[in-house]
Chains A and B, each alone.
Chain A
Amino acid sequence: MNILQNIKYKADNANVSRLRFWIQLLTFILIAYGGYLFIHIGSQVPTFACPYNQGSPGTCYLIAMQHGLHLKWSELVSYRGLAFFTGFLSFIGFFIVFNKAWCGFICPLGTLQDWITKLRYRIGIRFSRYDSLSFQKLKKVKYVLLILLIAIPLGMSNSFFGLPPINHDMQAPFCQVCPGRTIMPLASADTSQFFIDFTNKTTLVMSTLGMLITGLFFVGAFAKKRFFCFFCPMSALQFMFSRIGILRLTKNGSKCTKCGNCYRVCDVGILGIAEDITSKNIVKDDCMMCFKCVEACPEDDCLDVKVFNAKIFSSTQEGFFKRYNQQDKLVKKNE
């Protein structure tokens, strides 16, 4: 066995969830406090690096995109438009490297939800799942939000169907209702984003919605794993480019026995990952590339994590049982 094969063998048997926990912890510290350490990672970050948090080392691309789209049609084809498109390319550049693993490993809001899930598990309260009908209906919400966060800034500078431009108080509309705006500053002990803006009716409605969604975020994340990710427009935006990401999650349908393990461990509850035996690329729009499915798959090479078609982590029977026994011991210890 050469060195590369040895590394691959160890990776296949590794507890990736544990590794993911530490990566999430480190990236949370980086994204919540990196600014205090003079780290700057730009304003096209494909994750919730919320600039409302003083310690943030970068800016979530959703806010940059909303500001960048506040353009007249004529300006979209000018230098201002060019600035928007170069920003967009930077976002894609960031995204290509990690693909949707930004959600599973780096997103601080995702990490917070995982910690809330751990808390619920410790307390001993069961979690909820959506039934398949609700799942199919609710997954469309993030696309509606994505369309709105693109259309509203454009509608502030332009007239749609002869209607008057949208009120400027609606600028960066998603940020006004995003729980990241209210929650991430808490990492810097800043509670100033918990407010209702009484300036006018628009700000009153938007800020009230923001507080409602923040409340729902905590309760939702407690009752259901990765509750907010299901409605996240960043996830929808990322999915549009997931095919060009160098990090891939593939499935060999011929090896799948439809045991359903992958579905059971999936935090988002994607049924397609278990049922789909025809697609090779199984990164769905709700997938956050946490690779729990690969860990839970007992079939050799049924699920693979690849970088440029080179397998870096594969499902194996040996790895499955090793992790299963570890988990079993942990559960018994907790009992």
Chain B
Amino acid sequence: MMLSLQSVAQIWISNSAPKESSLKIAVSGMHKISALRGERGSAKVIQWLRSGSSVEESLFSQADSSASIFLFDPQEQRVAVETKADMNSSAFVFKNTEEGYYNLFYLTEKVCNDTLMVSCASREILNHSCRNGHAKELKYIPYKTFGKDIPMQIVRERNKGDDLHYFVTSGERLTFRALHDGKPIEGVKMTLVSQKGWKNVSYTNLEGVASFELIQDYFTNWNMFDVKKVYNYLLIAEKTLPISGIRNQKSFTQTKYVTTYSEAYLPAKTNYMSLVWGLIVFLVTVIISFIVVYVYRHKRNVFKKHNYEYTSKY
């Protein structure tokens, strides 16, 4: 039974395709979103369902027939999403025609023993292409809440400069808010897992907020450094509330909410900017000290006081 609980508990939505995917996938654009290739019309975004708490090792899962799948466009309108089978796993396919964040949710409810397990996998998918043209100054895009349909939602508080070009980077402080029926909830256990498996746990405060520093976990030789290396983090939020009731003719005395939120991140700019600055400081030091040594030697002229012409003037 515990195994079953675990597998239900850690369902999340991934932008990465299974290694041997039967579908033609293209990962492109500013935000590196996976899309189906070779289909006419506007591009179709594809996201996969995975199970597990490790970003790299989680298994690709099949969608439960009883699950509810919600997709909201940037105007907060519910739009259609297609479920596609891909190598024994399920993928969600949809058209992203509007500019802004699409919110995708996969929701399951099961009664195990006397507990109602409410598992929700969520992902915000940003749709933007500069080719479509946009204003010089981009607008800050606030997060959207869907308390009416999603019992426990996790939203990422927007950072400074969080616009259509924004990409989370390592080293940033990420703040998440847990909302139960659209209202902040205290004491939610939040676990942040980085691409390489680093974990950190925090609990939400009265305002439903918990924050983490997204540590650097991309390390490579300088000459191999990829500034556009996309990693994903996974946030798992858990909270048990004394909410009782009956679901599918099974009664329960408490409700356990497990919501996951995943997002891509890039290496911090400081990774390469620190090397640029290092080189600048070094070169400036070399140039200035060379000039200082040259000027000092030129002015000093150790033989001047013994020079007849020099001394004869005084």
A residues sitting closer than 8 Å to B (CB atoms) are: 128, 182, 190-192, 194-198, 207-208, 211-212, 214-216, 218-220, 223
Interface of A is mostly: helix
Interface string of B265-308 (1 = CB under 8 A from A): 00000100111011101111110011001000100000000000
Q: Check B297–A128 contact: CB distance below 8 A.
A: yes
Complex: chain B residue closest to A125, CB-CB: B297
Known: A198-B273, A212-B281, A220-B289. 4 other contacts (CB 8 A): A194-B279, A195-B278, A198-B277, A214-B285
A283 to B: closest C-beta gap in Å: 30
Q: Check B286–A218 contact: CB distance below 8 A.
A: yes
Q: Check A194–B293 contact: CB distance below 8 A.
A: no
Q: Check A192–B222 contact: CB distance below 8 A.
A: yes
B139 to A: closest C-beta gap in Å: 29
Q: How far is the CA of A53 from the CA of B278 in the complex (A)?
A: 18
Q: Check B289–A196 contact: CB distance below 8 A.
A: no
Q: Check B282–A194 contact: CB distance below 8 A.
A: yes
In the complex, chain A residues whose CB is within 8 Å of the CB of B281: 196, 208, 211-212, 215
Among A197, A198, A208, chain B packs the most CB atoms within 10 A around the CB of: A198
Interface of B is mostly: helix
Q: Check B285–A194 contact: CB distance below 8 A.
A: no
B294 to A: closest C-beta gap in Å: 9
Q: How far is the CA of A191 from the CA of B222 in the complex (A)?
A: 8
Complex: chain A residue closest to B292, CB-CB: A219
> Would A195 and B277 be within 8 Å (CB), given that A190-B222, A219-B290, A223-B293 are in contact?
yes
Q: How far is the CA of A197 from the CA of B216 in the complex (A)?
A: 13
> Would A216 and B222 be within 8 Å (CB), given that A194-B282, A208-B281 are in contact?
no
> Would A215 and B286 be within 8 Å (CB), given that A190-B222, A192-B221 are in contact?
yes
Q: Check B289–A215 contact: CB distance below 8 A.
A: yes
In the complex, chain B residues whose CB is within 8 Å of the CB of A182: 282
B169 to A: closest C-beta gap in Å: 13
Q: Check B286–A196 contact: CB distance below 8 A.
A: no
Among B270, B282, B284, B297, chain A packs the most CB atoms within 10 A around the CB of: B282
Complex: chain A residue closest to B269, CB-CB: A198
A244 to B: closest C-beta gap in Å: 38
Q: Check B285–A195 contact: CB distance below 8 A.
A: no
Interface string of B195-227 (1 = CB under 8 A from A): 000000000000000000000000001100000
In the complex, chain B residues whose CB is within 8 Å of the CB of A218: 286
Q: Check A211–B274 contact: CB distance below 8 A.
A: no
> Would A207 and B278 be within 8 Å (CB), given that A198-B270, A218-B286 are in contact?
yes
Q: Check A216–B277 contact: CB distance below 8 A.
A: no
Q: Check B293–A211 contact: CB distance below 8 A.
A: no
Q: Check B290–A194 contact: CB distance below 8 A.
A: no
Q: Check A216–B285 contact: CB distance below 8 A.
A: yes
A179 to B: closest C-beta gap in Å: 10
Q: Check A192–B289 contact: CB distance below 8 A.
A: no
Complex: chain A residue closest to B271, CB-CB: A195
Complex: chain A residue closest to B283, CB-CB: A215
Q: Check A196–B222 contact: CB distance below 8 A.
A: no
Q: How far is the CA of A300 from the CA of B78 in the complex (A)?
A: 100
B288 to A: closest C-beta gap in Å: 8
Q: Check A211–B285 contact: CB distance below 8 A.
A: yes
Q: How far is the CA of A215 from the CA of B277 in the complex (A)?
A: 13
State which of B274, B283, B293 has its C-beta within 8 Å of the C-beta of A196: B274
Q: Check B289–A194 contact: CB distance below 8 A.
A: no
Q: Check A198–B274 contact: CB distance below 8 A.
A: yes
Complex: chain B residue closest to A189, CB-CB: B223
Q: Check A215–B274 contact: CB distance below 8 A.
A: no
Q: Check B275–A194 contact: CB distance below 8 A.
A: yes
In the complex, chain B residues whose CB is within 8 Å of the CB of A196: 274, 277-278, 281
Q: Give me 29 A-to-B residue pairs in the complex whose CB atoms sit less than 8 angstroms apart, sorted by A's number.
A: A190-B221, A190-B222, A191-B275, A192-B222, A192-B275, A194-B275, A194-B278, A194-B279, A195-B277, A196-B277, A196-B278, A196-B281, A197-B274, A198-B274, A207-B274, A208-B281, A212-B281, A214-B285, A215-B281, A215-B283, A215-B284, A215-B286, A216-B285, A219-B285, A219-B286, A219-B290, A219-B293, A220-B289, A223-B293
Q: How far is the CA of A153 from the CA of B195 in the complex (A)?
A: 34
A129 to B: closest C-beta gap in Å: 10
Q: How far is the CA of A196 from the CA of B280 in the complex (A)?
A: 10
In the complex, chain B residues whose CB is within 8 Å of the CB of A190: 221-222
A188 to B: closest C-beta gap in Å: 11
A141 to B: closest C-beta gap in Å: 17
In the complex, chain B residues whose CB is within 8 Å of the CB of A194: 275, 278-279, 282
Among B234-283, those with CB < 8 Å from A are: 270, 273-275, 277-279, 281-283
Complex: chain A residue closest to B284, CB-CB: A215
Q: How far is the CA of A212 from the CA of B283 in the complex (A)?
A: 9
State which of A191, A192, A212, A223 has its C-beta within 8 Å of the C-beta of B285: A212
Q: How far is the CA of A207 from the CA of B289 in the complex (A)?
A: 19
Q: How far is the CA of A211 from the CA of B283 in the complex (A)?
A: 9
Q: Check B275–A195 contact: CB distance below 8 A.
A: yes
Q: How far is the CA of A208 from the CA of B285 in the complex (A)?
A: 11
**8 residue pairs, one from A and one from B, having the closest CB atoms:** A215-B285, A195-B278, A211-B281, A196-B277, A219-B289, A194-B278, A195-B274, A192-B222
In the complex, chain B residues whose CB is within 8 Å of the CB of A214: 282, 285
Q: How far is the CA of A218 from the CA of B286 in the complex (A)?
A: 7
Q: How far is the CA of A200 from the CA of B221 in the complex (A)?
A: 23
> Would A211 and B275 be within 8 Å (CB), given that A219-B290, A219-B293 are in contact?
no
In the complex, chain B residues whose CB is within 8 Å of the CB of A216: 285, 289
A53 to B: closest C-beta gap in Å: 14
In the complex, chain A residues whose CB is within 8 Å of the CB of B286: 215, 218-219
